Amino acid sequence: MTDFSLAISPRCISSCPAPTSRWVPPPIGFLKLNIDSEVSSCSKGGIGGLLRDEKGSILFQFSEAVRNDPPVWVEFEALYHGLSLFLSSWWANKSRLIIEFDCKQLIDWCLGKGVPPFPIRSRVQEVVERLCSEVLCVRWVPRLCNIDAD
C-alpha cells in the first residue's frame, strides 16, 4: 500500500497567502483559476470555474451538473475538470497557474495533510501529481473572493 503523503512534495505545491475581501488578479505571466461547487438537496450537484488573466479578462469558464456526492468530492470534481481544461488549452504552455477555491479540506489533500477517502484517492493523487508539474500554488480563499466561480 502506498503512503499518499509521499506523492506530495511541499516544494511543488504551496499554499500561498490569500486575499481577504475580494478577487485579486494574478501577477503578469500567471493565470488564475477559481473553482467552486454546489450540492443541493436534489439528486444533482454542480461545478463551475473561471480562468482569468492579470487584467481580469475571462479566458474560459465552465459550468456543469454532476452527481450529488459529498460536498468535498464535488469540489474535487470542479478542481479536476478545471485543471483538465487548463492543461488541454494552449495557455498551459504559455503561463503558470494559480488555483483558488474555498474548500479547506481539499486544500489539505493537495498539500498532503490528510488522506482522501478511498473511492476518490487515486484520482486525487493523479491531480496532485499534475499540480506538481503545472501549478505555482493552490490556495484557500474566503467565499467572498470566490463568488464569481459560482
Confidence class for position 20, pLDDT limits 50, 70, 90: low
Residue, of 145 and 85, whose pLDDT is higher:
85
Whether 12 shows a pLDDT value over 60: the answer reads no
CA 52 to chain centre: 14
Confidence class for position 130, pLDDT limits 50, 70, 90: confident
Residue, of 74 and 140, whose pLDDT is higher:
74
What is the secondary structure of the chain as a DSSP string?
---GGGG--TTTSEE----SSS--PPPTTEEEEEEEEEE-SSSEEEEEEEEE-TT--EEEEEEEEEE---HHHHHHHHHHHHHHHHHTSGGGGT-EEEEEES-HHHHHHHTTSS---HHHHHHHHHHHHHHHHHEEEEEE--GGGGGGG-
Whether 113 shows a pLDDT value over 60: the answer reads yes
Domains in the chain: boundaries:
28-149
pLDDT at position 74, please? 93
pLDDT tens digits, residue range 34-93? 999 998 877 788 999 999 999 999 999 999 999 888 899 999 999 999 999 999 999 998
CATH class given for the domain over 28-149: alpha beta
CB 32 within 8 A of CB 98: yes
What percent of the chain is modeled with pLDDT above 90? 42
- Mean pLDDT, rounded, of the chain: 82
CB 4 within 8 A of CB 125: yes
User: What is the pTM assigned to this prediction?
Assistant: 0.81
Contacts of residue 148, defined as CB under 8 A and 6 or more positions apart, other chains included, come to: 23, 34, 50
